[in-house]
Structure 1
Amino acid sequence: MQRYLSSSTYIDWHTVEIRSLAHKLANRAGSESELVHLSFEFVRDEIRHSSDYKLNPVTCKASDVLRHKTGYCYAKSHLLAALLRANGVPTGLCYQRLSVGNGGAPYCLHGLNAVYLKDFGWYRVDARGNKAGVDAQFHPPREALAFPIRDPKERDLPEIWDAPLPVVVETLERHATYDQVLANLPDIELIG
């Protein structure tokens, strides 16, 4: 579990700003589950999704997401992982492969988190941000993610990563504006 607690370049929970917010959230929580819930809702509701709100700059590091209060789903998942890891809650990164439109190609990755809850084991949460047609919630053990799998080439990727996928980091770091990222969303090829 140690790798799901570590600080890194993109999940940089050792920064003063992230530790301070993590401490405030922990002080408001009466249990680990409540801490995860409060942290999830903070990222989901207080950090604006870059594309939904047409916001720059493009963020990738958790500390930058917190500083600028915006990020794509991937960056928001980095912040949620950082906040929870700062409080000793093992947290990983997960991805779905989804259709960009209403079905069929093109496809892109969607970033979310898996949190290790003592009462339930690994539990996925999606702090992307709600809007019309998107209603992600925290209701363990039942998952309430932002997007269901609908298309035969869409997938819930089963892995729980301790660090962001290189294709995600490369996309976020290569593009300067939210619309450039939107036009070049990361994807991976499925095997089988």
Structure 2
Amino acid sequence: MQLIQQNPDIHAYLASDEAIDHWHPLVQDTADALWFATGDAYSYAKAAFEFVRDTIPHSADSGDERVSWRASDVLSTRNGICYAKSHALAALLRAQGIPAALCYQVLADDDGTNPLVHGLVALKLPGSERWARVDPRGNKPGVDARFDLDHERLAFPVRPALGEVDHPELHAAPHPAALKALQESADRSQLWRNLPTAL
């Protein structure tokens, strides 16, 4: 899939904002520890991806009712849905100078009903001309997302026959619909009712 850079200024994909708060000490400390253990951009990006995928449970899997949306809160609570986990991964990548974007899919049940927007991340390693998407959602039976910059290994490959959609846009900041759902939900039960069904 051809990814579309929304903002031609690469610096937009390195910026900090209220959700991707890579200036926060916890994000910086986590990024520094991961960098110290790896030492090059590719190894660091893979380690950051696996850290978010594997050590921060998706709240639908864990049953955690808390709703986090800032990257620093995701790292602190070790909790979040796909949007929040994507904010955390983007922050860790940007903290070490790796451009990171937010991407979205619309997924559905096996019968094509109940569409929901799913969030993931695209990154661009130094010296690379292309963006690659990775999905830090978290693995479980039937979901096997991997860090692979040559062949996408996402949590949920889209099924166009069911009306699912891959949105090719690279967002420098969270999509307003996704961010609004997180910020306006007091708990996970309310969040499930607030999740956007389209972008």
In the superposition, the TM-score normalised over structure 2's length comes to 0.91
Contact 1:56 1:70 in 2 (8 A): no
Q: Could you give the per-residue CA deviations for residues 139-163 of structure 1, whole angstroms, max 9, x where no partner exists?
A: 2211100001114321110000000
Contact 1:167 1:187 in 2 (8 A): no
- What runs of 5+ residues in structure 1 fail to find an aligned partner? none
- What runs of 5+ residues in structure 2 fail to find an aligned partner? 1-9
* Alignment match, 1:150: 159
Aligned mates of 1:96, 1:103 — CA distance in 2? 17
**Do the aligned partners of residues 63 and 181 (structure 1) sit closer, same or farther apart at CA in structure 2, a change above 3 Å counting?**
same
* 2:124 match: secondary structure: strand
* Alignment match, 2:83: 74
**CA deviation after TM superposition for structure 1 residue 120, in Å:** 5.9
Q: Could you give the per-residue CA deviations for residues 53-96 of structure 1, whole angstroms, max 9, x where no partner exists?
A: 11031011101101100000000000000001000000000000
Contact 1:54 1:179 in 2 (8 A): no
Once the two structures are overlaid, the 10-residue window that deviates more, 171-180 or 2-11, is 171-180
**CA deviation after TM superposition for structure 1 residue 33, in Å:** 0.8
Runs of 4+ in 1 over 6 A off after TM superposition: none
Aligned mates of 1:112, 1:65 — CA distance in 2? 15
**Do the aligned partners of residues 115 and 13 (structure 1) sit closer, same or farther apart at CA in structure 2, a change above 3 Å counting?**
same
* 1:132 match: secondary structure: coil
**CA deviation after TM superposition for structure 1 residue 21, in Å:** 0.5
Aligned mates of 2:156, 2:40 — CA distance in 1? 28
Contact 1:96 1:110 in 2 (8 A): yes
* Alignment match, 1:167: 177
| Aligned CA-pair RMSD | 1.2
Larger proportion of strand: 1
